[in-house]
Chain A
Amino acid sequence: MIPAAFAYARPDSVEEAIALLAEHGDDAKILAGGHSLLPLMKLRLATPSVLVDVGRLADLSYVRDAGDELAIGGLTRHHDVEQHPLVRQHVPLMSAAAGEVGDPQVRHRGTLGGSLAHGDPASDLPAVVLALRGTMVVRGSAGERVIAADDFFEDFLETALADDEIITEVRLPKTNGAGWSFEKFQRRAQDWAIVGVAAVGGESPGVALVNMGSTPVRADAVEAALRAGASTADAAAAAADGIEPPSDLNASAEFRRHLARVLVGRALATVADTTAGSAR
């Protein structure tokens, strides 16, 4: 399979990239690692006429300590997110989940910003950023703005990004030793999650679900139950409340609801077990 023809540009800076995006509008797509976009282009499901390759913008690949948060450059590859000592120390949920994306070859190419911008509800990392209450720093012709994860994912493969905007940084609150869990149910190695759960404990517990709707979804009912002091089992029982999962070849909606309850139960048990200071 070969993509439809396109014109290729490799800007030397974010500003040049934004200028190209502004010039070509809806016809242009950003190419980062290419592991979401190129498969779609090979299937001709995406046929951009201009590809703006930002993959060489090394200054957007970094992990920095930013006080209460960790700042991760938008072009940081999954492999680097997984391996980085600051991510392991301060946001271990993100390190673990990044290490579960696809397979090693995919993690050598795919980027955090690319995965989020693609907005696929079946992807692992959007749900992780949602659970962590992270924010996206994006830059475009109109300047820079910060978008909370809850406002970022709008619909299937649709995000709050404008045509000329690029994710330059992802900010994740440090979890300060809070327990965490990433549960991914798949039939075979390297498959997409049929259902996944990202969960983090602490004062403001976060639980978000992979592949349970047209966007990554926050498990509001679970979080509310946890805040109200419900038991882990009772909170997990609410995992599918108010959520409309899809039916497809891999699972019916009802099976997905069942999986969500079971996986959230496991995740919350792991969160409790891994909370710093608790006996394991």
Chain B
Amino acid sequence: MPAPNTDVTVTIAVNGTSTEHQVEARTLLVHYLREVVGLTGTNIGCDSTSCGACTVLLDGESVKSCTVLAAQADGRSVTTIEGLADGDELHPMQAAFREHHGLQCGYCTPGMVMAAVGLAEERATLDEDDVRKGLEGNLCRCTGYHNIVAAVLAGAAEMAGNR
């Protein structure tokens, strides 16, 4: 075990591409993604583990990247909103958000979509109640959630059909 150090070298697979950087140990994963790797799709909202705008998948599970150190993600894989689409073809969950108008200002959307993908990957089937409870960690101040829930149900069904 190396001695405690204020700098750490982390190796994190981001959207399937290995990244390796020396960063301050206090670097938060969201800052690593935005400022070091340069992927700014992940938004910082409340910066206090409440709003979920910064949600990414860590080894396939939804986490709030404002409350994870980059050092904690060392050796692991992270999926951000940029990692979902296949070229010009949207991920089924992204397509469902567009189809069902599951966004207005769009600020919460990357986190909302990532939380929804994580939820759909975790559960074989989802009903409306599961979706509402499953998105408890993501706040949207525009939509009133109705269309988001409709989008997630449709996107999850599409994902399940593709499995």
The chain A residues found within 8 Å of chain B, CB to CB, are: 1-12, 16, 20, 24, 31, 34-35, 38-39, 41-42, 50-53, 55, 79, 102-106, 108-109, 189-190
Contacts and interface: CB of A to CB of B under 8 A. Distances in A.
A22 B58 CA distance: 31
A8 B4 contact: yes
A1 B63 contact: no
Contacts of A55: 72
26 contacts: A1-B47, A2-B31, A4-B26, A6-B25, A6-B26, A7-B3, A7-B5, A7-B6, A9-B1, A12-B1, A16-B1, A34-B69, A42-B28, A51-B4, A53-B69, A102-B49, A103-B52, A103-B136, A103-B137, A104-B119, A104-B134, A105-B52, A105-B63, A108-B63, A190-B50, A190-B136
Given A1-B47, A12-B1, 5 more contacts: A34-B69, A42-B28, A53-B71, A103-B136, A106-B137
Contacts of A24: 4
Contacts of A20: 4
A42 B44 CA distance: 14
A8 B67 contact: no
Contacts of A52: 4
Given A6-B6, A8-B25, A105 B115 contact: yes
A9 B4 contact: yes
A80 B51 CA distance: 23
Nearest to B122: A104
A105 B64 contact: yes
Which of A5, A20, A39, A106 has its CB near the most chain B CB atoms (within 10 A)? A106
Given A7-B6, A38-B69, A55-B72, A108 B62 contact: yes
Given A2-B26, A10-B1, A35 B49 contact: yes
B137 A190 contact: yes
A79 B55 CA distance: 16
B55 A105 contact: yes
Contacts of A16: 1
B158 interface: no
Contacts of B47: 1, 42
Contacts of A39: 48-49, 67
Contact of B118 (A38, A51, A104): A104
Given A103-B52, A189-B136, A35 B67 contact: yes
Interface string B66-105: 1111011000000000000000000000000000000000
B137 A5 contact: no
Contacts of A105: 49, 52, 55, 62-64, 115, 137
Which of A53, A105, A189 has its CB near the most chain B CB atoms (within 10 A)? A105
Contacts of B26: 2-6, 41
Given A3-B26, A104-B118, A10 B71 contact: yes
Nearest to B54: A105
Interface in B14-35: 24-26, 28, 31
B125 to A, nearest CB: 16
Contacts of B2: 9
Contacts of A12: 1
A108 B136 CA distance: 13
B43 to A, nearest CB: 14
A9 B31 CA distance: 20
A168 B134 CA distance: 30
B68 A8 contact: no
Contacts of A10: 1, 71
Contacts of A8: 4-6, 8, 25, 69, 71
A51 B8 CA distance: 12
A53 to B, nearest CB: 7
